[in-house]
Each structure stands twice: as structure tokens, then as C-alpha cells.
Structure 1
Amino acid sequence: MDRLHGFPQPFPDESLYSLAVRYHRLLSNDSYRRTSHELFGVYSRTCGSILPCCLGALSQRLASAYSVEQLIDRFTLLPLYEPFLNDTKSRAARIAMAGDDGTGLKMSLGITASGFLKHASFRYCERCVEEDIQHCGSTYWHRIHQATGTCICPLHGEVLCGTTFPNGADWRCMLFPAEVAGSPVMQVPCRPAAGELSEMQLWGLEHPAAVRNLLVGDFLWHRLDEMGFLKAGRVRLQTLKSFLTPRLLCSPRGNEFQELNCSWEWVLGVVRPRRTVVQPLKFYFLCWLLEAGLEHLKSFLPQADIYGGEATEGSNTGVPAEESEIEARRQAFSSSKNVKCHEKPGYQWLYRHDREWLTQYVSAHPFIRRMTGLVDWAARDEALARNLLIARDQILFTQGKPQKVTRAALNRRVAHSQDFLRMPDKFPISTLLMSDMLESDHDHQVRKVRWAVRQYLLPERSALSVVYRFAGIRLSHVTEEEVLDILSVAKELRLTSGSP
């Protein structure tokens, strides 16, 4: 196997694709195909990926100056994803990147299913370009800039630019950042939020072991507990939804966040994943939604099992908390409106760090379950009966075409209608009264005919079809004699009153 006699010296946080571009320019190769065969021994279609393959062949061509593990850890984004993988998936990913076949790698890591790939682009920071030329003599592609959800440079706080390759080409043009026109990947609003996320992702990329400790220690569950979103080991969904909804509206405007800010339900999949790989962006974005910044991630020490309500035996590290923090925790705990002490925010923290004060507080504020008075069903039955009579009169004297007195129409106009329907044995008077008040089809049509005769001044010789049409009757439940009687009575009333 041919050895490489000229390979660029890596710059800080440089991606493998950037090294390939610099090698391509250094040797003045005429095509990416030639560069790929020199570096990897094959025509690799993953060199421009955040998870490139063929690294085993590259390591051998470099005379083991860099092992496969070093190439992966220093020049790819796998360290950003690895804390969220189990050992099996992690080993499989590294084996795939060492070999020459990366088919299904992004799918196995959940990247394809996340929907983030369609928003991917080669990104750069204009400030970084200027400083790289000044200090390194050349610009290069920074690894963290290519991470999903990184819209702000974590070093300079500037909005990144997405590269558009000329003439519809792709990364095989082997270009440096800013050699072609780029456009901002997000609007100016929400820059602080996007900046915090970029800083957290950079820290996660550089400290995968610390991120693993966050996941093993259930950082998100501890955070939910501190903010009062847990009750008896379960998430208080409605309370959490009410808190997250306005926060999502203030989320960054980058394209990747369109997959997240339209709903909050993905949060549950991050808090308690079920055999799925959590995407780093979702984890850090949820940290921001829960008002946890980079300092919270760095200072987290898993010390308690929040499911059982007590600190885990032997979990106390012996590091005393500062007096100012203890006083702030006490104040937040005391001012909480929750009646039960173990549901107040910070209960577990105080249990670990200030148990004596917590014990005294709980003793002085015992939870007493209040017994509600028994319901006077007889009085409620009488009140409901009166309301039913009022509702019946409202229906009968409603202006316009007569409405039928039905069970549903009555229930819509009275209080405790649900109790009445579910517990009819508690309302014997009302049940009997309603049975008597319900109107039959015949009685309802008689009222409709009388209304139509009065409303439209129908003469005594009107055809039945005319009466039925004005009354809105399709299937008749009244007899011809009843209709003629109503017409006759209406005529006598008009003669008596002197109406035409």
C-alpha cells in the first residue's frame, strides 16, 4: 500500500474533509477522484460527510501517524454523537468508519430519521476565515461549524454562512470556506439562544465523557425535578407543556429548529428514550428550554435517585454547597405554592445538602388531607328539577321556528348535566320530571304547524303541502283533521281581532 509523503499538518478543530481539500490543493490534483484514491485507496463518497469512512486505509497510508481512533476523535463529529449511543452502536459506528462501506451508518444513529439532513450545509464563520488566514496562513473547515444546529460560531458569536457550490456541484469541488458566495443560515433574532446551543455542542464535542456522565446521572430528570415538573416519579405533562410552549416560540430561527419548535412532544423521547438514539441537538436544545446553560452541565454531580424520593446510599460526594446557594434553595422551596413538600422544587437537592433544615420544615408544615363535605343529593335534585322547568320554558318560548324539547336540549341548559346523565339514581325527581317533559314528534309538529299558520297568515283553504313546507315538516306525524282544525282556529282568531 502506497504511503503518503505529503499530508497537511492539522489545524485546531479541523474536519477530515478540510484536510482532504488542503491535500488536494497541495498536490494540485486535477480531480477529487484522484485525491480520493491517493488518500483512501478507493473512490470514497463519504469524505465530505460528518461521519466519513475509509479511515483504516488512510491511517495505513499515513504510516500510523494517526490511528483510526485518533482520526475519528479529532477530525469527525462522532464524539458529539457517541455519548448517546450504547456500546454496541458505538463499536459498530467505529468499525463502519474504519472500513470502506458506510451504508446505513447515519440511519443506525438516527440522523436520517431526525429530518435534520435536509437542512445540512457546509458552514463557515467569516471572522474565523479572517483569523485562520492571519494565524494559519490558510482558511479551513471547522468541525463544530458542520454540527447540526450550530448556527452561531461558538468562538465569535457570529451567524454562520452556508456555502452554495457553483453550477450545481457539491463538495467534490474541493473548495475552501468563503471561496464562493455564502448566505446566513439564520435570521438575527434569537442569536443568544443559538449561541448558547453552539457553545454547549462545542463543549459536548470536546468532552464526550462528561456528557456521558450527564446521561448516566439522569441530568434532565434532576432538572425537571428542580423545576417542579415531576410528581411521584412522573412528568406533569400539562404543566411542562404550558412552560415549554412560549419557550419554543422564542427558539432560534435556523432551519434545523423547524423540526422541533412546531411541537413539544419530542421532549418525552429525549427525557426517556425507548431504544432510540437521542440526537445531540435535541438534548442540548431541551437543556436550553429548561433554562439549563453550559455552567449547569459542567457543574452537575449525580448524587440522588429521584424516583425513590431519597438520596442514593453512598452517593454524597462530601462537597459542601455554598451558603448563598443553600439560602436560595430554601427560599425557592418555601415560596412554592405546592401543598405537598415532596412536590416542591428542589426537594431532592435539599434532601442531599440541607437535610436537617428540610426535616424541620416538613415537621412544621405537615400535609393534611382535607375532607370535603358530603354532597346533598336531595337538594341538588330539587335545584336541577327547577332548572329543568326553566329550560323547558326557554325552549318552548324561543323566538323563531319551534325547537323540540329533547333530553339533549334540556341538558345543555342546566348545570351538573353530566352528573345527571351518569348518576340518574341520585336524581329521582329530575329523572321523572324529564320523562314527562320530553316532547313527542306529534306534539312538536303540532306546534310547528301553529307557528307556520300564525307566521305566514295561511288561509283556511291552504293545501296541506303548503302548510308542511312552511312548517318544515317532511314526514308527517299529524293528521289532516288536526291541521284543518288549526287553520280554522287561526281564522276565527283573526276575525275576532279584526285582522285581515
Structure 2
Amino acid sequence: MLGYFPTLYKDELLYSAIARYALHTGQENSQKAVLRDVFSSRTATAIPDLPSHLNALVQNLSTVWPTTVDDLIGTHTLAPIYLPFLSEDQARSVKQSMASDTGGNIHTRVGITASSIKQLSFFRYCSTCMTDQLALDGEAYWQRSHQLQGLDFCKKHSCFLNNSKVSFHPKEKHHFFTAAASCNSSAIRKLRLHHNEKVLNDKYLDLLEEPFLDGLGTNRWTMFYHNLAHDLGFIEKNRIQYQEIYLVMKQEWKGSIFEKYFTEPIENHWLKNIFRKHRKSFHPLRHLLVITTLAPDISTAEVLSKVRNLSVPAHDSDTMTNKIKKGKAEEVKQRRQLWLNFLDKHKSLGVKKIRLIPGGGSLYSWLYRNDYQWLMNNRPKYRPKSQLHYKADYREWDKFNVIALNKLLKELLCQSKRCRLTKTFFIKKLPRANSVEKYLHKLPGTREWLASHSETVEDFQLHRLRSAYEKLEELKLEVKKWRLLRFAGIRSELITPKIEKEILRLEQGRGQR
């Protein structure tokens, strides 16, 4: 149970609140402890948009903040923008995965992985919004509305969003990064927003802020778009006029930020597929582009209500349960037995090894697509590899590093053109560089060598001056101060007394080292 957890701000990501918890409790550099406190797990992953382990979090928060999994999903994750466009079963499955401790394929099932809408590379923020946060709340946090795919601006301040230093899917998968330590740029890139861009922004935020967590299914969306085309006169002789819809859409978004989504010809365009029978879900941004253009006066809540009230024939359902009832039950039974035979025959192997056996990979893939829950309950238990840990001989390692560094320095001093010899540069040249950096406190000889041989900026400028002198001598040019500075690439405002003294020495012809 948690004895403390920060109050979440409006429009704040759950990820951000956990990052603030780590900061407030002094555990920013001990993220495994944070995971243990918050999720009762040491292996939970720091996912910004669609996190899992929410059941454990709700239980741990019960004494300081009574909440529910649906409340967290609806108000502090990005799930609300995806769930309405999935089937009922898909939406339910995604929410169950977010609640449980097995959320590894949520992004695939939602459709983010396969979408052509570019995923975010970094967390984003608006400099003015962050200034307001600091003034009102005393601290910065990651806003949900700034992390929406395709929405690259802040409507409130009419400016582009800035990229932070934090990757949206970082390699440090257990680390929660705070906004305060990751947003250094205060640049504000203003832009003039079109009316359509403002309307789309509002509809996007409505989808996020008024969470509708049920899946409506592809069949209802097919009917909605067919009815929309009919009401607007885009149907002639029972055929949807895709070309006319495309031209209207292209004209409406011309000159806007979203113009790039209408560059392909209609034959291969997503717009044509969205007005056909839906065989897959489309990214929320694509739905909003169409609705903003063709139904601008209808709110997002009204659209979702209309879609929900459409009746879908029972025989047209695309859920896995009905697929099995229509003839796959026997096939599922056979494949389950084949999989159990594989497990019985190869008891010592894990999933990866079994999939490498002829027939194992295709069988696993079929069950994964058609009988996922049963497969997850009937797979080999994870067997952690037994690793033979050895105790490092730091004394010998230290001696080896010093010898290697002396040899490297000797080679570098013979080069007239070289980079600055910094501590980091030397470490990166050593074998096991990452380990050297990590255990430098246990390598006194290496540490002292680096401290005494690393060049300052001034030292490196002096080296460049001497190299410039040698070049002038080689070209038989008169050694002048301006020539030395130009050849050495040193700006006049960076000249220090020591550099000035060296220039004077070289001008007098005493350039020998």
C-alpha cells in the first residue's frame, strides 16, 4: 500500500504522476523501487500512452486515492481515442490487458503499430503551457493533449509543440522521466491556425476528455459512413462517389497542417477504404479528418452516440466467438491438441525454441491469432537463464586500462589533426567502455590517468594553434595572428591570456614544441 501519491492534475498522463512520485519521494534514481511501490512489480514497463498493471496500482492507491481502473484509463491515458473504433471484444480485451500485468501486445491490438500515422518519437510540450503549470501548480507535468498523434500544435497558444529530450519509447523501459528535467527549450514557434484545424483539435480533445471506453465495432462505423455519404448526396445509383468526397476533403484541408494526408491518388487512398466496408479499424485522426469536414457541427459525443445506436445484424458480427461457432470449433480443437503434443514432446524448451521447430512457428501463429487466451494459458513457463556471475578483478582491470590508455595517447600525439582528448573520448576507446564508466570509482589508476591527461577546451585550442603554425610553415606563409586564428578555427572572443601568449610566441618563430 502507498502512503503517499501526488494528486493528478487535469489532462495529466498517469506516467507523469508516477514520475513526480519518484521525484517527490527521492527515488528518481531508483526506478525499480518506484515500480515496486506503485505496481508491486520489478518488471513493469514505463509506458506513457497505454500502460498496464493498473489493477495493482488501484489496489496500492486505495488508502490515499480511491479510484478505479476505468477512471484511470479514461482520464489519464490515451486509450479513449482508440477504444471507440475497435470491436466490443477488442476494446474489452485491451482494457483487461491494461488492468492486468500482461500488456505486451496492447499497441498491436489497438492498431498503433501497423498504422501509417507516424508515432511520436519524443514527449512533447508547449513552452507557454509549461510556464502556466509552474505558475499555477509549482511544477511541470506531461499533458495528455500534447501527446496525440498527428496533432502537432497547441490551439490555446497557437504554436507548434516542442520535442523534449525524452524518447516516447525510451531504451530505459523501467524509468519514468519528469517533465521538469526534460524540457529545456523555451522556444515558441507561432502559427496561424485554420478554422478546420481548430475544429479538429476540439473534436480530438472531446474524444480524449469525454471518455467512451466501449468498442463500437467496424460494422457500425461502416453503416455510419454510408449514411453520412447518403445524407450529403455522395451516393449515385447506390454507389458512393469516392472521387467527389476526395476532392471536397482535399480542398478543405489545402494549405493546412493536415494537407499531407491527401497527397495520394484516390485509387490507393485510405479515404476510399473508410467509406467502404470496414475490415479493419482506422486511426482516430483519419476519422476526425472526415467528420470535421463532412459533419463539422456535430460534436464528437453526438457522433459516438449515433454510431452506438446503429443496429448491427447478429450474423454480421466479427467477434472471435462467432467465428469459432461458424465452423472453426473443430479446427481450434485440433490445433490445441497439436500444440499440447508439442509441449509434451519438448518439455525442456521454451516458446522461442518450440517456434523454431518445423511446424511449431506456424501453429503458434495460428493459435495466437485465433485462440489467444487459451494459448497464453498453455505455454511453457518462463525459465530464467542461470547466469554464472564472476567477481571482477578490478586491480588487473585497472592496470590494463592504464597501459591501453598510454598506448592510445602515444598514437594520438603523433597526429596533427585529431579531436579533443576528453575523459569520455578516452573511456569510449577502452574495451568494455560502458563498464569502465560504471565502475570508475573502483578503478583509481584509470580515474587518475583520465584526470591528468584529459584536455580542457583551452588545451585543445593551444594544440590547434601549434598545428596551424606547422601548416603555415609548410605553406611558407608569414606567421601572423589572424592567420593562426583562421587556420586554428578560433574566434577572437574566445582568446584567453594563455592563448594570446602562445600566439605571440609563435609569431616570434618559436613554434617548436
* TM-score for the superposition, normalised by structure 2: 0.51
The 5-angstrom pairing of residues 377-392 of structure 1 reads: none
Aligned to 2:36: 37
* SS of equivalent to 2:159: coil
Q: Please list the CA deviations of residues 185-220 of structure 1 after superposition, one character each: whole Å capped at 9, or x if unmatched.
A: 998365544333221111112234499899958554
Distance in 2 (CA, whole Å) between partners of 1:241 and 1:125 is 33
Task: Tell me: CA distance 1:227–1:73, structure 2 relative to 1, closer, same or farther (3 Å).
Answer: same
AA in 2 matched with 1:268: K
Task: Tell me: CA distance 1:134–1:294, structure 2 relative to 1, closer, same or farther (3 Å).
Answer: farther
Question: Which residue of 228, 231, 234 maps to 2:236?
Answer: 231
Distance in 2 (CA, whole Å) between partners of 1:204 and 1:19 is 22
Distance in 1 (CA, whole Å) between partners of 2:75 and 2:193 is 30
Shift of 1:46: 3.8
Question: Which residue of 287, 293, 296 maps to 2:291?
Answer: 287
Distance in 1 (CA, whole Å) between partners of 2:110 and 2:70 is 18
Shift of 1:57: 1.0
Shift of 1:45: 5.3
* SS of equivalent to 1:122: strand
Question: Which residue of 158, 175, 178 maps to 2:178?
Answer: 175
Is 1:266 the counterpart of 2:264 in the alignment? no
Specify every segment of 5 or more residues in structure 2 that has no aligned partner in the other structure, as ranges: 311-513
Q: Please list the CA deviations of residues 287-320 of structure 1 after superposition, one character each: whole Å capped at 9, or x if unmatched.
A: 2343x325555666859x99xxxxxxxxxxxxxx
AA in 1 matched with 2:111: G
Distance in 2 (CA, whole Å) between partners of 1:67 and 1:296 is 27
Residues 166 and 182, structure 2, Cα contact 8 Å, conserved in 1: no
Q: Please list the CA deviations of residues 366-401 of structure 1 after superposition, one character each: whole Å capped at 9, or x if unmatched.
A: xxxxxxxxxxxxxxxxxxxxxxxxxxxxxxxxxxxx
* SS of equivalent to 1:113: coil
Aligned to 2:19: 21
Task: Tell me: CA distance 1:187–1:199, structure 2 relative to 1, closer, same or farther (3 Å).
Answer: same
Task: Tell me: CA distance 1:192–1:182, structure 2 relative to 1, closer, same or farther (3 Å).
Answer: farther
Distance in 2 (CA, whole Å) between partners of 1:249 and 1:135 is 38
Task: Tell me: CA distance 1:196–1:177, structure 2 relative to 1, closer, same or farther (3 Å).
Answer: farther
Shift of 1:119: 3.7
* SS of equivalent to 2:160: coil
Shift of 1:123: 1.3
Distance in 1 (CA, whole Å) between partners of 2:230 and 2:141 is 43
Aligned to 2:453: none
Task: Tell me: CA distance 1:245–1:198, structure 2 relative to 1, closer, same or farther (3 Å).
Answer: closer
Task: Tell me: CA distance 1:146–1:237, structure 2 relative to 1, closer, same or farther (3 Å).
Answer: same
Identity across the alignment (%): 25
Question: Which residue of 170, 188, 198 maps to 1:195?
Answer: 198
Distance in 1 (CA, whole Å) between partners of 2:162 and 2:7 is 25
Residues 15 and 176, structure 2, Cα contact 8 Å, conserved in 1: no
Distance in 2 (CA, whole Å) between partners of 1:44 and 1:183 is 35
Shift of 1:88: 0.5
Task: Tell me: CA distance 1:126–1:178, structure 2 relative to 1, closer, same or farther (3 Å).
Answer: farther
Residues 152 and 160, structure 1, Cα contact 8 Å, conserved in 2: yes
Task: Tell me: CA distance 1:177–1:113, structure 2 relative to 1, closer, same or farther (3 Å).
Answer: farther
Distance in 1 (CA, whole Å) between partners of 2:251 and 2:202 is 23
The 5-angstrom pairing of residues 300-379 of structure 1 reads: none
- Greater mean deviation of Cα atoms: 264-273 or 129-138: 264-273
Is 1:93 the counterpart of 2:94 in the alignment? yes
Is 1:114 the counterpart of 2:115 in the alignment? yes
Q: Please list the CA deviations of residues 140-161 of structure 1 after superposition, one character each: whole Å capped at 9, or x if unmatched.
A: 1111211212222244443221
Aligned to 2:160: 159
- Greater mean deviation of Cα atoms: 111-120 or 47-56: 111-120
Shift of 1:18: 0.7
Aligned to 2:55: 56
Aligned to 2:74: 73
AA in 2 matched with 1:17: Y
* SS of equivalent to 2:198: helix
Distance in 1 (CA, whole Å) between partners of 2:233 and 2:187 is 38
Distance in 2 (CA, whole Å) between partners of 1:19 and 1:120 is 21
AA in 2 matched with 1:110: G
Task: Tell me: CA distance 1:245–1:119, structure 2 relative to 1, closer, same or farther (3 Å).
Answer: same
AA in 2 matched with 1:38: D
AA in 2 matched with 1:128: C
Task: Tell me: CA distance 1:11–1:118, structure 2 relative to 1, closer, same or farther (3 Å).
Answer: closer
Distance in 2 (CA, whole Å) between partners of 1:102 and 1:210 is 17
Task: Tell me: CA distance 1:128–1:187, structure 2 relative to 1, closer, same or farther (3 Å).
Answer: closer
Aligned to 2:138: 137
Shift of 1:63: 2.1
Shift of 1:67: 1.8
Shift of 1:112: 0.8
Question: RMSD over aligned Cα, in angstroms?
Answer: 3.6
Higher relative contact order (CA 8 A, sep 6+): 2
Distance in 1 (CA, whole Å) between partners of 2:231 and 2:171 is 50
Distance in 1 (CA, whole Å) between partners of 2:181 and 2:114 is 31
Distance in 1 (CA, whole Å) between partners of 2:84 and 2:215 is 5
Q: Please list the CA deviations of residues 305-352 of structure 1 after superposition, one character each: whole Å capped at 9, or x if unmatched.
A: 99xxxxxxxxxxxxxxxxxxxxxxxxxxxxxxxxxxxxxxxxxxxxxx
Task: Tell me: CA distance 1:184–1:270, structure 2 relative to 1, closer, same or farther (3 Å).
Answer: farther
Distance in 2 (CA, whole Å) between partners of 1:32 and 1:204 is 32
* TM-score for the superposition, normalised by structure 1: 0.52
Distance in 2 (CA, whole Å) between partners of 1:271 and 1:186 is 36
Aligned to 2:418: none
Specify every segment of 5 or more residues in structure 1 that has no aligned partner in the other structure, as ranges: 307-500
Residues 242 and 272, structure 2, Cα contact 8 Å, conserved in 1: no
Distance in 2 (CA, whole Å) between partners of 1:155 and 1:207 is 19
Task: Tell me: CA distance 1:63–1:103, structure 2 relative to 1, closer, same or farther (3 Å).
Answer: same
Task: Tell me: CA distance 1:252–1:46, structure 2 relative to 1, closer, same or farther (3 Å).
Answer: farther
Distance in 2 (CA, whole Å) between partners of 1:135 and 1:219 is 43
Q: Please list the CA deviations of residues 451-485 of structure 1 after superposition, one character each: whole Å capped at 9, or x if unmatched.
A: xxxxxxxxxxxxxxxxxxxxxxxxxxxxxxxxxxx
Task: Tell me: CA distance 1:45–1:248, structure 2 relative to 1, closer, same or farther (3 Å).
Answer: farther
Count of aligned residue pairs for this structure pair: 298
Task: Tell me: CA distance 1:131–1:24, structure 2 relative to 1, closer, same or farther (3 Å).
Answer: same
Residues 210 and 301, structure 2, Cα contact 8 Å, conserved in 1: no
